[in-house]
Amino acid sequence: MPFGWSEIILTLVVVVVIIGPKEIPNLLKQLGSFSKSIKKVSREFKKSLNELAEEGDLKELKNSLSDINSIKKDLDPSKQINKEIKSIKDSAKIFENEIENINPINKENTQNKEEQEDEANLIENINPINKENTQNKDDKKNE
């Protein structure tokens, strides 16, 4: 409901009658300082609302950045490649240990074969001596 000119003039007449013409300048000063303080409060309120909105935007931006970083980490193939390389290295170490375990067995088998061959050679060497001794005994019996 807007004010008309007649209502404004009536209000001014009432103010002049109640306050008096001497106090009107003081009243205008007080009204001016009151309007300044109201403007200041409204500016601060707008500023705080803008700051809150910016903080909300910053929070959204931070959340978006953290989401992007997590997606980036998930899409980063180097971690998966490093895991695969590590598993391959572990498998290679296991095979290497298996081969090292097999090598002593082969060495033992080779040594056993060499010992068996040596024993066989000894037996062969002993057998001709036994044959000679047996023939000598047979020859002596025949005489």
Domain boundaries, the chain: 12-75
Q: Show Cβ contacts of residue 79 under 8 Å, excluding neighbours closer than 6 positions.
A: 73
Between 46 and 69, whose confidence is greater?
Answer: 46
Q: Could you give the CA distance from residue 140 to residue 134 in angstroms, rounded to a whole number? A: 10
Phi, psi of 23 (to 5 degrees): -90, -5
Q: pLDDT digit string (tens) for 48-98?
A: 888 887 887 778 888 888 888 888 777 777 777 788 888 888 888 888 887
Q: pLDDT digit string (tens) for 23-45?
A: 888 988 999 999 999 999 999 99
17 near 9, Cβ under 8 Å?
Answer: no
